[in-house]
Amino acid sequence: MLLKYFYDEKLAHASYLVGCQKEGVAIVIDPSRYIEQYIEFAKKEGMEVIAAAETHIHA
């Protein structure tokens, strides 16, 4: 299992990537509008982002 914390200070926005290295898949919790960072990180770790979930509405 892999957990990666992302934080955008300009937007005061936290998000997380949770992945399974064995299966090669990951999900993003509370993604920001700049999704490339998650895709690139997952790819570097040998994973593919397959889903996203939001815990609350972002303004």
pTM comes to: 0.90
| DSSP string across 7-23 | EETTTTEEEEEEEETTT
CA distance 21 to 2: 7
Nearest residue to 31 via CA among 10, 8, 1: 8
pLDDT at 19: 99
pLDDT at 9: 94
pLDDT tens, the chain, 59 aa long: 999 999 999 989 999 999 999 999 999 999 998 999 999 999 999 999 999 999 998 66
pLDDT at 47: 99
pLDDT at 59: 66
pLDDT at 57: 83
Supply 15's token pair.
């998000």
CA distance 44 to 25: 12
